[in-house]
Amino acid sequence: MANIKSAIKRAGTNEKARLRNKAVRTNLKTSVKKFNAAVESGDAKTAEAAFNYACKRYDQAAAKNVIHKNAANRKKSKLAQKLNALNA
């Protein structure tokens, strides 16, 4: 553990940020799993709703700098490809 006061404060701040980022990532993974399950079941309507929710979560994660915005766009594009293949 750090001895300097500012380093102790920074360690606490980093821990709070880590927990916040972990919650955002977990929520993101859950939304993607729901989308993939909807695609596997072949239900286009549910898949589209899950896709919209997952995209929203990716955008929020990118806005909070939990993931990079290009990574979010890349992953949304992959989800869109799956959705389009299901609808085709």
pLDDT along the chain (88 residues), means of 10: 93 97 97 96 94 97 96 98 92
**Structural domain of 82:** 5-87
pLDDT at 88: 78
> What total of structural domains would you count in the chain?
1
Instruction: Write the CATH number for 55.
Output: 1.20.58.110
60 vs 53: CA distance, rounded Å = 11
DSSP-derived 3-state class of residue 3: coil
